[in-house]
Amino acid sequence: MKEQLLPFAYRARLMLCGLLCLMFLDTPTQGQFNILAKYFTDQERRTVVVPPTAIGDLVRDGKLFLMEQQAIEMALRHNLEVNVERHTPILNFWMVREREGIYDPLGTFDFNWDREKRPTSSALQGGTSITNVITGYRFGYDQRFSTGTSWGVNFTGFRNRTTSFFSSFVPAIDTSFEILLRQHLLEGFGGSREDDQLQISRTNLQISQQEFRRLASEMILQVQQHYWNLRFSLEEIEAREKALETAQAILEQNQARFEVGSASRLEVVQGEAEAALTEEQLIRARYRYRRTQDQLIRLISDYEDPRSFPAEIVPADLPDLSPDPLEPFERLQDIAQELRPELQQAQLEVENQRTRLDRSRNELRPSLDLVAAYQQYGLGGPTLERDFSGGFINPEIIGIVPGGLSQSLDKLFSSDFYGYAFGLELQLPLFNQEDRARNAQAQISYDRSILHLKNLKQLVSLEIRDALTQLEMNQASLRTGETGLLAGQERLEAEQARFDVGRGTTRELIEAQRDLLLAELIFVRAQTDLMKNRALLNRALGRTFERHNIRLREALETNLR
C-alpha cells in the first residue's frame, strides 16, 4: 500500500511547489523572468512628454506663414493645457487596472516558531514539566470572482517536539489540506460590489476621454478665433497704413496749396489732425496684432514667454466665402447627440448612476452565504515504542520507528483521514437604515443625472440655433460689406477728383477716406466673423475633430512615451 501512496504524495508535493512558483514568479519580460521585481520597483507606465516647439523649417525672413490646420496640429502637440488633460485618461486607465486587481489571486505564507516550558499539576500531563518546541507554517491561495463566489486552498503543517512521555510521535508532524468555498446567495449574488466599481471605473475612463475631446475642441476653437483675428489685425494694419499714406498725401497737397494761396490754414490743420488720428489708430492696430499673436503663440507652443517666439506669425489661409450648405435643424441635433462630448459624458454618467442604483438595491438584501469545506489530514514522525509494564509514569523507550514529513504527507493524500462541512451564514440587519439611505441617495442621483442630460440637450440645441443665427447674420453682413466697400471706393475716387480740380473740400475728402476705411474694415470683419462662426457651429455640433481629420485615439496617444 505504501509503495502505491509514495508516488502520489511525491506528485502532490510537486504540485504544491508549482503553485508556490506561480505565486512568486512574474510574467516573462524580454525573455527573462522578473522574480519579485513587481514588489520592489515602480510600475512601468506611459507618461506625457511635451516636445519643444520646432518651427525652423517653416520660417522665412523672420515670418512664420502658418495655415489654420498647421496651427491646430501644433496646438494639439504643444499646448500645455491639452497635455495636462492627457494625463487624466492615463490615470483612469490605471484606476481600471486597480479595480481589476480585486480579483487577482492572493498567495500567503505564514511561518512561526514557538518554544515553551510549562510546569504541570498532574503526572498525567506527561511529566513534572513539559517543554514544547512548535514550528508552524501555512501556504494559502485565495481568489474572488465577480459572481459573488470565493474559494481558497490552505496547506498547513505543524512540527511539535515535546518532552511529554505520553506522546507517541516525537517530533510529531501534523499536516492538513483544506478547500473552502463561499457563495453569496442574496446580497452580492451574481455581481459583487467590486465588479460594479470596476464597471464604473471603465465608464469613468470613457468619460475622461470625452473630457479630453471637449477640452481639445474648446482649445481648437480658441486657436481658430485667434488665427482669424490675427489675419483681421494684419488686414486692418494694411488698411490703416494706406489710410495714413492718403492722409499724409492730402496734408502735403494742402500745405502746397496754402503756400500758393489756394487753400486756407484751416484745411492744413484739418489735414494735420486727420494724419495724427490715422497714425494713432495704426499704432493701436499694431498693438492689437501683437497681443493677438501672443495669445495664439501661447495656444500653439510651449514657450513660457510668447515674445521669445522666433518669428512673427502670418496667417496663410484665405477666408472661404462660399455659401454654407443648409441642413435641417433636426439633422444637426442628431449630429450633436452623436458627437458632442458633453452629451456623451452625461450619457455615460447616467450609466454610472444606474450601476450605483442597482448596487444599492442589491445591498438592501440580507447577507446569506453558502459555505462548504473539505479537509484532509496527515500525521507522521519518529514513533517511540515504550514499555508500560512498569507503569504509565515515564515509561522506558525500547525502540524508535523512523518516520517524518513523507509519512505525514502519505497519510494526508491517502484520503483515509478527511472531513467536510456545509453551512449557511445569515446576517439580517434589523432596521437596515444605512442601506436604505444609500438606496434613496442612489435613486436621487440617478434622477438628477437624467435631468442633467435633458438640460444639456436643451443647451446644445440653443447653441446650435445661436450659431446658425450668427452664421446667417454674418453672411448677410458679408454681402452688405461688399456693397459698402464698392460704394466707398467710388465715393473716394469722386471726392479725390473734385478735390484735385479745386471743387471739393478737405473735409469732404477726409470723410470719404474715413468711410472707405470703415467699409474695408467692416468687410474684412465680416469675413473673419464668418470663419469664426463656422468654427463655432462645428464646436456646437461636436464635429470639430471630424472637420480637421483628428482621431480621438491618435490625439490621446500624441506625446505619450
- What mean pLDDT, rounded, does the chain reach? 88
CB 356 within 8 A of CB 442: yes
Tell me, what's the pLDDT at 16? 55
pLDDT tens by residue, 188-203:
887 778 888 999 999 9
- The DSSP code for 316 is -
Confidence of residue 35 (pLDDT cuts 50, 70, 90): low
Domain containing residue 501: CATH number: 1.20.1600.10
Answer whether residue 252 is part of any domain.
yes
Determine the 3-state secondary structure of 111 from DSSP: strand
* Helix ranges (DSSP H) in 261-370: 265-300, 329-339, 341-363
Q: Is 8 exposed, middle or buried (0-12, 13-18, 19+ CB in 10 A)?
A: middle
pLDDT tens by residue, 498-519:
887 777 777 788 888 888 888 8
Report the pLDDT averaged over residues 158-167: 84
Closest CA to 402 of 433, 376, 381, 371: 381
User: Is residue 557 over pLDDT 90?
Assistant: yes
Comparing 167 with 362, the larger pLDDT belongs to 362
Answer whether residue 263 is part of any domain.
yes
pLDDT tens by residue, 224-265:
999 999 999 999 999 989 888 888 888 888 888 888 877 788
List C-alpha distances in Å: 464 to 225, 330, 335, 424, 476.
18, 11, 11, 60, 18
pLDDT tens by residue, 45-85:
889 999 999 887 788 888 999 999 999 999 999 999 999 99
Closest CA to 536 of 477, 472, 481, 480: 472
pLDDT tens by residue, 289-303:
999 999 999 999 999
Instruction: Return the C-alpha cell found at 68.
Output: 489654420
Answer whether residue 52 is part of any domain.
no
Answer whether residue 430 is part of any domain.
no
Report the pLDDT averaged over residues 165-171: 81
User: Is residue 399 over pLDDT 80?
Assistant: no
Answer whether residue 498 is part of any domain.
yes
pLDDT tens by residue, 324-334:
887 899 999 99
Cα end-to-end span (Å), the chain: 63
Torsion, Cα of 520, 526, 528, 534 (10° steps): -160
List C-alpha distances in Å: 112 to 136, 405, 522.
5, 18, 88
CA 305 – CA 299 distance, rounded (Å): 12
List C-alpha distances in Å: 103 to 37, 92, 97, 182.
21, 18, 11, 15
CA 451 – CA 441 distance, rounded (Å): 15
Confidence of residue 14 (pLDDT cuts 50, 70, 90): low
Tell me, what's the pLDDT at 391? 66
Cα Rg of the chain, angstroms = 43
- Based on the structure, what is the number of domains in the chain? 1
User: Is residue 26 over pLDDT 70?
Assistant: no
Tell me, what's the pLDDT at 18? 57
Comparing 128 with 171, the larger pLDDT belongs to 171
pTM for the complete prediction? 0.84
- DSSP code per residue over 438-492: HHHHHHHHHHHHHHHHHHHHHHHHHHHHHHHHHHHHHHHHHHHHHHHHHHHHHHH
pLDDT tens by residue, 127-154:
788 888 999 999 999 998 888 899 999 9
Answer whether residue 515 is part of any domain.
yes
* Helix ranges (DSSP H) in 105-192: none
Cβ-defined contacts of 480-483 (< 8 Å, 24+): 480/522, 480/526, 481/519, 481/522, 481/523, 481/525, 481/526, 482/523
Comparing 434 with 28, the larger pLDDT belongs to 434
Phi, psi of 551 (to 5 degrees): -100, 135
List C-alpha distances in Å: 462 to 326, 336, 538.
17, 12, 14
CB 555 within 8 A of CB 81: no
Confidence of residue 32 (pLDDT cuts 50, 70, 90): very low
Report the pLDDT averaged over residues 436-443: 96
Range of the domain at 221: 212-356+442-546
CB 534 within 8 A of CB 471: yes
Tell me, what's the pLDDT at 6? 45
Answer whether residue 466 is part of any domain.
yes
